[in-house]
Amino acid sequence: MALTAWLPFVLYAAAAATYLVHFSTRDKKAGLAATALLAGGVLAHTFLIGMQTMEVGYAPLVGTTAAVSAFVWLLGLAYLYVELTTEERLRLVTVVQDELAGRLPLIVGISSTSVATSAMLGREAKARGAAAFMVAAPADRRDTHAQVAFFGELASALAAPLMLQNVPPPAGAGLTPDALIPILQAVPGVAYVKEETVPSGQRLTQVRHRAPASLLAVFGGAGGRYVTDELRRGAAGSMPAIELAEVHAKLMTAHRARDDERVRAIFTRMLPILNVQAVFRWALTKHVLHKRGLIAHTRQRAAGPAFDAYDRVEVDAFLHDIRDLLLPDDAVS
């Protein structure tokens, strides 16, 4: 038992030393070794906590030593989760950039509540060819001054255009135009806004009319559910979810051709699916992508309601109704 008790400490210490080497040299092999050591430490620590729980009949959380042990274990788990998800995000940047092959500039999402984390993601994405970065106004910055400090520091660290994503709580701050305009005035590096706090059309209009010249464009979002209103008010475009990407592209083509009737017709036809997405979020998006042969399974890590059999039948019927707007299956699978 004594050896088992010391093993997590030894692995954590080895992981810390190896991370120090990785952060000072940016050696990829050192980073992989550090992650493996941390994972081993967390696994050994989990086993130790389980053994102690079985021995005394309750989770070992009483007393200073036990509390510190639990804190270190949770900290290790949290860091491991962040590191693995960060690697996934950066790997996806490479995949998308390879697919673009230089045809279009790539905007990469680097949202977090930490300037250091967002800056790290931005630097890594920039090294992979990212042209600009989208960052949600963090929910934990309670006033305009704090938001100015966050975006000012991030803009200085990355020296690349930023898109401020104004998403409502709990994911973001849900800034009012009165709170948003001073940020744009103080941080000219924020060149774009993605407005998703409803009523998004009215907010978009106020931002466009009051923003400094450094703001190049305002985009809509919110799953594309208000896109006709946003475009009519001067939005440069919309950034919805991905399940009906080619249908949104058809709508934008019609808008640029000033064919308002076709814009409304396309919007009306895809609105049932957009409404379902508002409730089920990634469950809807993953179901549609899976149904179309674009992803292997529908499992999601994000919390939220899941589809039942009735939901699947309903969405499949909606998809059938717009099949003429979708790319053929053999073109996307």
Highest mean pLDDT among 6-10, 36-40, 143-147: 143-147
The last residue of one of the domains, among 182, 210, 240, is 240
pLDDT of 219 > 90? The answer is yes
CATH value at residue 171: 3.20.20.70
What does pTM read for this prediction? 0.76
Judge if 116 and 235 occupy the same domain. Answer: yes
Expressed as residue numbers, the domain containing 139 is 105-240
pLDDT of residue 36: 76
Residue 91 resides in a domain: no
The last residue of one of the domains, among 199, 218, 240, is 240
pLDDT of 229 > 70? The answer is yes
Q: Give Cβ neighbours of residue 86 (< 8 Å, ≥ 6 apart).
A: 117, 120, 121
Judge if 219 and 248 occupy the same domain. Answer: no
**Total domains present in the chain:** 3
Residue 57 pLDDT grade (very low, low, confident, very high; cuts 50, 70, 90): low
Percent of the chain at pLDDT > 70 equals 87
Judge if 213 and 267 occupy the same domain. Answer: no
Judge if 170 and 44 occupy the same domain. Answer: no
pLDDT of 58 > 60? The answer is no
Judge if 141 and 189 occupy the same domain. Answer: yes
Query: Are the C-beta atoms of residues 166 and 197 closer than 8 Å to each other?
Result: yes
Count of residues in the chain: 333
pLDDT of residue 302: 72
Residue 129 resides in a domain: yes
The last residue of one of the domains, among 18, 45, 79, is 79
Judge if 202 and 290 occupy the same domain. Answer: no
Residue 220 resides in a domain: yes
Closest CA to 270 of 307, 333, 311, 223: 223
Residue 108: burial class (beta carbons within 10 Å; 0-12, 13-18, 19+): buried
Judge if 128 and 193 occupy the same domain. Answer: yes
Residue for token digits 């004594």?
A: 2
CA distance 205 to 173: 19
Judge if 70 and 161 occupy the same domain. Answer: no
Residue 85 resides in a domain: no
Residue 171 resides in a domain: yes
Average pLDDT over residues 143-163: 96
Judge if 231 and 118 occupy the same domain. Answer: yes
Judge if 167 and 216 occupy the same domain. Answer: yes
pLDDT of residue 197: 94
Over residues 184-216, the pLDDT tens digits come to: 999 999 999 999 999 999 999 999 999 999 999
pLDDT of residue 73: 67
Q: What is the DSSP letter of 34?
A: H
CA distance 38 to 149: 33
Average pLDDT over residues 171-196: 96
CA distance 3 to 17: 21
Judge if 291 and 305 occupy the same domain. Answer: yes
Q: Give Cβ neighbours of residue 125 (< 8 Å, ≥ 6 apart).
A: 90, 93, 108, 110, 133
Judge if 236 and 258 occupy the same domain. Answer: no
Residue 265 pLDDT grade (very low, low, confident, very high; cuts 50, 70, 90): very high
Residue 97 resides in a domain: no
Residue 75 resides in a domain: yes
Average pLDDT over residues 249-259: 96
Residue 86 resides in a domain: no
Average pLDDT over residues 164-168: 95
Average pLDDT over residues 175-179: 96
Average pLDDT over residues 277-302: 91
Residue 291 pLDDT grade (very low, low, confident, very high; cuts 50, 70, 90): very high
Higher pLDDT, 331 or 81: 331
Higher pLDDT, 205 or 28: 205
pLDDT of residue 46: 77
Mean pLDDT over each residue of the chain, to the nearest integer: 87
